[in-house]
Amino acid sequence: MPNDDRHPAGAPFWVESFQPDPHTAAEFYGALLGWSFDNAPGVSDGAEPLLALAGGKRVASIRQSPDGVPPTWLMHIRVENLARVLAEVDAVGGSSLMSPSDWDSTSRMSIVADSTGVPFCIREADSDGGVEASGEIGTWAMASLHSTNVQAAREFYGHVFGWELRPVPDAPFSQWTLADQSIGLIVDAGNTPQHWSINFAVADADTVAEDAASLGGAVLIAPFDTDGHRNTVIADPAGAVIACSTVD
């Protein structure tokens, strides 16, 4: 994902959790990741998302789950014309899972699935509508597509968004790029269900795992080491899943 203030069309630029009880989820993530929360400007009826702040910077959101959407975390990709991109998604074997709707008072979104069935969001928004910090403690660090059909994913995201895949020497994953900028990873899903993994940067993965369990969540993958990072995968009390990795 972009690690600066630029959010070009076609790039991941936001992450959001759909929850049956957004305020309960906000309490969990506030305690777990140190977030504070504020409603989007102009909210009076709770229809717009709760905005998560880390160090005063906008980093994620939590909103009420639409009918049929289970508790989850989804990545948003910024687009300039929602209708046109929805047509491109359909043309290359993807599908619309939720009709276009207002995300807030300034942008519109839709939930779609790629050609292999993995869901994500597309949102028609200005380039300054994305996260205000990333890769820092308590913020979104990376999105990784766990796929059972890497070639199909390559064709889909390449056609719709102009992404390219670049191998990473001696690594079990490849890197998504857009205009030579790294925007995410792809890895063979193996025996796990296909999904976009949303990863947050934390100071201590072991502490996060302990805190998640004590706050009513669950540890799905106990803390483990990879090259340069210690990681864990947790579920919140409603069952939405995130990965967490230490940063220096």
Residues in the chain: 248
On the 0-12 / 13-18 / 19+ scale of CB atoms within 10 A, 247 is: middle
Pairing of strands 195-202, 181-188: unpaired
For 158-179, what is the mean pLDDT? 95
Spatial separation of the C-alpha atoms in residues 137 and 181, rounded to whole Å? 22
Spatial separation of the C-alpha atoms in residues 71 and 64, rounded to whole Å? 9
For 54-58, what is the mean pLDDT? 95
Extents of the domains making up the chain: 12-124, 140-246
For 203-212, what is the mean pLDDT? 98
The H or E element containing residue 219 is strand 218-226
What pLDDT, on a 0 to 100 scale, did the predictor assign at position 44? 33
What pLDDT, on a 0 to 100 scale, did the predictor assign at position 47? 66
Name 147's Cβ contacts closer than 8 Å, sequence gap at least 6: 116, 118, 153, 186, 187, 188, 189, 194
The tens digit of pLDDT for each residue in 169-201 reads 988 899 999 999 999 999 999 999 999 999 999
What pLDDT, on a 0 to 100 scale, did the predictor assign at position 4? 42
Instruction: Give the pLDDT band (50/70/90) at residue 143.
Output: very high
> In the CATH scheme, what architecture does the domain 12-124 have?
Roll (3.10)
How many percent of the chain have pLDDT more than 90? 83
Instruction: Give the pLDDT band (50/70/90) at residue 39.
Output: confident
Q: Which pTM value belongs to this model?
A: 0.93
- Does pLDDT of 5 surpass 70? no
What pLDDT, on a 0 to 100 scale, did the predictor assign at position 127? 85
Spatial separation of the C-alpha atoms in residues 65 and 71, rounded to whole Å? 7
Domains 12-124 and 140-246 share a fold: yes
> In the CATH scheme, what architecture does the domain 140-246 have?
Roll (3.10)
Under 8 Å between Cβ of 156 and 117? no
Under 8 Å between Cβ of 246 and 203? yes
Torsion of CA 25, 26, 27, 30, to 10 degrees: 130
Angle, vertex CA 32, rays to CA 121 and CA 106, nearest 5:
35
Instruction: Give the pLDDT band (50/70/90) at residue 106.
Output: confident
